[in-house]
Structures are given as structure tokens and as C-alpha cells.
Amino acid sequence: MDYKELRQAVKCIASTDLEERKNWYSPAAEDYNSTRPKYPSELVGKAVNAAELSSSSRILEIGSGPGTATTSFAELGCRMVCIEPNPDFCNLARMNCKSYPTVEVINKSFEEWNLEPEAFDAVLAAISMHWIPAEISYAKASSALREDGHLILLWNKELQPCKSMQDALSDVYKLHAPSLGRYEDRKTQEAILIGLGQMMLDSGRFRNLATETMETSLTYTSDQYISLLGTYSSYLKLDHRTRNVLFAGLRQCILEKGAGEIRLSYLSTYHIAQKTPNLGK
């Protein structure tokens, strides 16, 4: 996927009807909360330092989901306002953040949220910026930031099996959902991540982009992996029959080839840029 194709794909996602976007993950909210991986603590620590955050900072989070990234930043003791349009995610985020009294979770889309101009030291978006039209997301994020404040974008790319396991799983995909069997190698994922960072600069609202990427490996059981797949948009789009048959085949393959476990790896990246002066007002 080249940069032009990436921009078009992001534009297509963000153009989805707002009400549909609000409820998109509701069928998979619990699985999302339990199976989507956290962001590496080392990466979050570096992001905190790069954005010059402290316990006195005030952070606006766009699309907190169930709080996957929220709790890591809340550990600073800083004040956070988290905007989350999905009601199920909102309830999970409040539950996950109940030990952080300085975190407020608001059930509203970023588009509908009443702007607090120049009120935040940082705006955080963890795998959520692409859900909002670019002409709204970057301009409004910039307007919410104090002078020289930072926009922090966090990304966890889709978890990838090792190549030998992916080759085995591909036979199942060919039978039931050929379009979903695509394997993304590290080079492909890195190119996508670079493109997502470039979009920040192309908005004209941010400058001095800093970025870092880390790779993490972990092991899921077959059931955990199937639950994880069910949280990805391409699988949520499947009709129930196709998804059930596909998941049964994948589960059986993992049982036979991996004794019921699957080794996975994923790339995590932060993009951090400063607000461009005099453009966010």
C-alpha cells in the first residue's frame, strides 16, 4: 500500500456514518478489552518524555476505547479528559480507570465534543485518529492544545503469526475468506506507520515530528487469538456463517500445528509532533 492508497483508505474509514462509527465495536467490546495488547511500557515512557508530560499536565484523549492506553498515562497522576463515542467502550474505560480519580471519560464523539480552546498540554489518540475526518481531527486537536503542546498518536499494528503458522492458516482463509489471508511483513507495516505519521505533517497543524517503533512478541491460546480476530474491522464485516466456519477452521489449524497456542508479534509506534504556532486558534 503506497501513501496515496493509505490516505484513501483512511478517508474511506472516516467517511463512515457517525452513528455507525459510534457503535461499530459494540459486538466485540468485551473481547477488545481482554485481547487487544497494551502499548509497551518502554514506548509509553519515551512518549511521555518526548511530550514533556508530568503530573501537572492535562491530557485530552480522542477515542479512548476501553482505556487501552489511558491507564498508562493516568499513572502519571495527570488530569485526563477522555472522549469515547461508543457506550460499551465508555463503560469499560470508566471501569478500567476507576482507580484514577483524575480521569474523566465522556461518552461523546470528538466531532460532537464542545471544544476547550488551548486547554491541554497534550492530545492523545491511540489507534483512533483514522476514524475522524482529517479536516476535523487535526484542526480540532490543534485548537485544544496550548501553545507548543503536543499531539501523540499511538499505533499497535495487527498481530502477525510467524510465517510458518501463517502459511498453514492461509489454507483455511483460501477456503472461507480469501481476502483476509493477507500477511503483512515488517517492511509493509513500517511503511504504513510512516505514512500515518506523515499525515500529521500534511495537515499543516503540526511540526517537529518524532517517532519510534518497537516490536513485541507474545503467545495467545487459540481461543484468545480467535477472540482477537473478532475485534478487527475486516472480521466484524463478515456474515455470521462465514465467520463461524472460518474461526472453526483457524482454531483447528492452531490446535494441530501449534498444540493450541500461537506465537504472535506486533509493531507499536508513537508519532509525536508540536502544535504549529498561530494555526490552532
Q: Reduced to 3 states, what is the DSSP secondary structure of residue 104?
A: strand
Tell me the percentage of the chain whose pLDDT exceeds 90: 92
End-to-end CA distance of the chain: 35
DSSP state string for 41-65: HHHHHHHHHHTT--TT-EEEEE--T
Q: Reduced to 3 states, what is the DSSP secondary structure of residue 73?
A: helix
- Look at residue 208 and tell me if it is in a domain: yes
CB 269, CB 193: distance < 8 Å? yes
Which cell numbers hold the place of 166?
Answer: 501463517
* Domain count within the chain: 1
Q: What angle do CA 226, 230, 236 make, to 5 degrees?
A: 150
- Look at residue 236 and tell me if it is in a domain: no
**Domain CATH number, residue 74:** 3.40.50.150
- Look at residue 237 and tell me if it is in a domain: no
Please state whether the predicted TM-score (pTM) of the whole model is above 0.85.
yes
- Look at residue 243 and tell me if it is in a domain: no
- Look at residue 103 and tell me if it is in a domain: yes
Tell me the average pLDDT across 228-241.
Answer: 96
Q: Looking at residue 280, what is its pLDDT? A: 41
Rounded Cα gap, residues 101 and 78, in angstroms: 10
- Look at residue 50 and tell me if it is in a domain: yes
Rounded Cα gap, residues 261 and 86, in angstroms: 32
Domain residues for the domain of 46 are: 3-158+184-216+267-275
Mean pLDDT rounded to a whole number for the chain: 95
Cα dist from 134 to 8, 110, 117, 201, 273, whole Å: 11, 12, 18, 12, 16
Q: Mind listing the pLDDT tens digit for each residue in 17-55? A: 999 999 999 999 999 999 999 999 999 999 999 999 999
Q: Looking at residue 198, what is its pLDDT? A: 95
Q: Looking at residue 181, what is its pLDDT? A: 87
- Look at residue 175 and tell me if it is in a domain: no
Q: Looking at residue 281, what is its pLDDT? A: 44
- Look at residue 69 and tell me if it is in a domain: yes
Q: Above 90 in pLDDT, residue 266? A: yes
The confidence band for 103, taking pLDDT boundaries of 50, 70 and 90, is very high
Beta strands in 127-260 (DSSP E): 145-156, 160-161, 206-221
Rounded Cα gap, residues 83 and 100, in angstroms: 16
